[in-house]
Amino acid sequence: MSDLSRRPEGAVVGEQLAHESAALHVTGHALYTDDLVPRMPRLLHAHPVQSPHAHARVTGLRVEPAYDVPGVVRVLTAEDVPGVNDAGMKHDQPLFPSEVMYVGHGVCWVLGETAEAARLGAAAVEVDYEPLRAVLGLREAIAAGSFQGGQPTVVRGDIEAGLAGSAHVFSGETDMAGQEHFYLETHASLAHVDESGQVFLQSSTQHPSETQEIVAHVLGVPSNEVTVQCLRMGGGFGGKEMEPHGYAALAALGATLTGRPVRVRLTRTQDMTMTGKRHGFHTEWRAGFDADGKLQALDVTLTSDGGWSLDLSEPVLARALCHVENAYWIPHVRAHGRIARTNKTSQTAFRGFGGPQGMMVVEDVLGRCAPLLGVDPAELRRRNFYVAGQETPYGQPVRHPERLVTAWEQLLSDAEVTRRQQAVAAFNAAHPHTKRAIALTPVKFGISFNFTAFNQAGALVHVYKDGSVLVNHGGTEMGQGLHTKMLQVAATALGVPLERVRLAPTRTDKVPNTSATAASSGADLNGGAVKHACEQILARLELVRAGRDLPWEELVREAYFGRVQLWAAGFYRTEGLHWDSTVMRGHPFKYFAYGVAAAEVEVDGFTGGYRTRRVDIVHDVGDSLSPLVDLGQIEGGFVQGAGWLTLEDLRWDESDGDGRGRLLTQAASTYKLPAFSEMPEEINVALLERAHEDGAVYGSKAVGEPPLMLAFSVREALRQAVAAFGPEGVSVDLAAPATPEAVYWAIERARHGDPAGRLTIGSVEPAQPAPDSPPLRPRSEQHAEAVPETAG
């Protein structure tokens, strides 16, 4: 066992503690960025002038009318930028664009004494546009050859030989929608220039160091003249990893130009129409199985909808390609990826970061092919699991695959799956217009940033003369419980009671050059850094102790008078990682997190309406740092995943009318989110036991993202329930999201044996697609094309 993972006796980690801010949350006393507004006298409010066009050239901009509006102080335009007019790391996101790329794109920003004055001032600004052709749909972009960024490919084996040698070959298409983050707190930044001339920003950001860097670039100053603090976020889910930088830069620019504090806080509608979302994907695939139903080959092209700029689309695509096989061994794989450029918001990070979209390919393949192979879907999945000694398609050995089997068998037993499946069969036989189904799905999710350099973290720990402890670390808190875990890590490492430890807000002048709190790595990275800092202090104190039994406070006091350093900077870097993005091979992940879920649904054949009756989960979090926090993450991630797969339906106006390109689902009234009514009537979550992860902080594993993909079980249960309305062996092509409307039309096809949603067995001629083209459809292959779900 490594020193990093070894737990001492009486450890605070592992205790079931409430979130460190739980009481503040439920009483309304937790402060967020915008709550600090009353503390800033003479504050100015910002409001954008937004484009009504999906794609247009700005040919004229007249800001003078805005100054006739009472209360307007300044209009920010490109001419005001002293540094670089760009808010992105790829230098493709101008802060003040001369060419607008989506409906809602901000052309300039108005500062006013009140929010209403800024709004009226923005309405008074006159902008001339030259409309240009807009590309909106993903299939439209593919047809037009509208792509951006790299087009990587993951390859193992000989795909054509694998398909030719398969007993059964299927081909099809899978479409999956994007998803709105809908964090409770919209984007917010507060900027002011302090007495020393430094720009100080309060920002709702998952990546304070990158926010600092972008703000410095825009202002044309070095990073040491900009400090960014993140007190806490009211949700992030990846949507505040890249997106906050531009809004922080606007606030900072306004503050430096006016000498007054500036507030940028998006309304809900602005947030939904201006910020990026989960990437939608279109995939085309061919899959081969042997006579026993074991996967032999998977050939797939994934095309993501990147929106108008790259943002994080390239690493999102890379992670999708690294998860196309999920938990299954496939000897021959070719996974090609590309990013479409469309005139929509610039799509960005979202919990899972491409992993869910990649996994959905193989889960859709198995769900659609199982009936045609005559194999129960759960059994088909189980017989394709990885076993010890096998590697991923990109060359990383799969460690501890037996844990997935253990979790699967525990789930079958604890959830009484066999008994309940018999009950489901009896129910379905007695109810022609209502059907139930139970589906089981696994998750294998890689933990670490794909970009190796991001796998580092820092911390600063102070022990004061009275024995109290203050911890700073580079991670941000967005409700996920990272700060709670860091308090437990510090208390454990120092051997002090939890109440002696306090955690300070995340600030770039305390811990520099931090990575984003993302990739489920926050506890791994920052926990390692906090532990390292504490161990340095403890080593010095042990020299002072000299074998004596001294109370903590007396030991600290004696160390102070002995002129012993009582603070330390900790650092952690994840070891054993390497990744060559040019060939998409290496060891990008520290370990894999495993989980399994069983979902039972009931579907109404008249309406397509459904309810989730019960969900059972067994999830691998290693030796949990904080079990209650992990439980909340598992349940929350599952529900968010179920929302993506069944409810949340982003719609843009793709007509040729004046509203072309407008987001139609721009409020909670039109964008359906999971509510209490969509929650499973019964949910049971168990943490996998005896799952210590050597080489990770106190033997724990990440928990932020992997549970989201457990929700595949709900979609697969819906597929099986729909199939129960049709003849034996019907293959169901189910839309994502599987809204009640989509489920209704799938039922109609299943009832009538419509071949539009079926795939049939065929043979394959050797064929080699071009690197930038979708997999070829061999002429000799006999299949019915899967068709996308329609709105009826």
The residues that are catalytic are 705
Give dist(CA 112, CA 260) in Å, integer. Answer: 11
Distances (CA, A) of 60 to 95, 127, 129, 704, 761: 17, 6, 7, 46, 59
Give dist(CA 734, CA 748) in Å, integer. Answer: 12
Measured in whole angstroms, how far is the alpha carbon of residue 261 from the centre of its chain?
32
Give dist(CA 161, CA 332) in Å, integer. Answer: 8
β-bridge pairing 44-50 and 262-265: parallel
Give dist(CA 698, CA 4) in Å, integer. Answer: 6
- Joined tokens for residue 210: 């990158």
- Token match 């034996």: residue? 728
Give dist(CA 447, CA 156) in Å, integer. Answer: 22
Distances (CA, A) of 489 to 316, 621, 697: 30, 16, 9
Do the Cβ atoms of 278 and 182 come closer than 8 Å?
no
Number of residues written out for the chain: 792
Give the type of residue at 613.
Answer: R
Give dist(CA 641, CA 360) in Å, integer. Answer: 12
Helix (H) or strand (E) holding 530, with range, is helix 522-545
Distances (CA, A) of 675 to 224, 446, 779: 44, 29, 47
Q: Which of 192, 190, 200 is closest to 255 using CA atoms?
A: 192
Give dist(CA 323, CA 287) in Å, integer. Answer: 16
- Token match 């067995």: residue? 761
Q: Which of 73, 211, 66 is closest to 127 using CA atoms?
A: 66
- Indicate the burial class of 415 (C-beta count within 10 angstroms; 0-12, 13-18, 19 or more): buried
Give dist(CA 346, CA 165) in Å, integer. Answer: 42
Measured in whole angstroms, how far is the alpha carbon of residue 525 from the centre of its chain?
18
β-bridge pairing 262-265 and 188-193: antiparallel
Q: Given 3-state DSSP classes, what are the helix, strand and coil percentages for the chain, each rounded to the nearest 5?
A: 30, 25, 45
Strands, E, within 620-776: which ranges? Answer: 682-687
Give dist(CA 776, CA 407) in Å, integer. Answer: 38
Distances (CA, A) of 340 to 140, 280, 694: 9, 10, 40
Give dist(CA 508, CA 212) in Å, integer. Answer: 8
Contacts of 98 (CB under 8 A, 6+ apart): 57, 58, 78
Distances (CA, A) of 730 to 170, 534, 715, 716: 14, 60, 16, 14
- Joined tokens for residue 714: 């709900």
Q: How many CB atoms are located within 10 Å of the residue 237 CB? A: 28
Phi and psi angles of residue 695, each rounded to the nearest 5 degrees, phi first? 90, 5
Spatial strand order of the sheet with 456-463 comes to: 501-503, 469-473, 456-463, 567-573
Q: Which of 522, 512, 458, 701 is closest to 594 using CA atoms?
A: 701
Phi and psi angles of residue 145, each rounded to the nearest 5 degrees, phi first? 65, 35
- Token match 């809602």: residue? 104
For 497-507, letters b (16+ CB in 10 Å) and e give: eeebbebebbb
Whether the ω angle into residue 778 lies within 30 degrees of 0, i.e. cis, is no
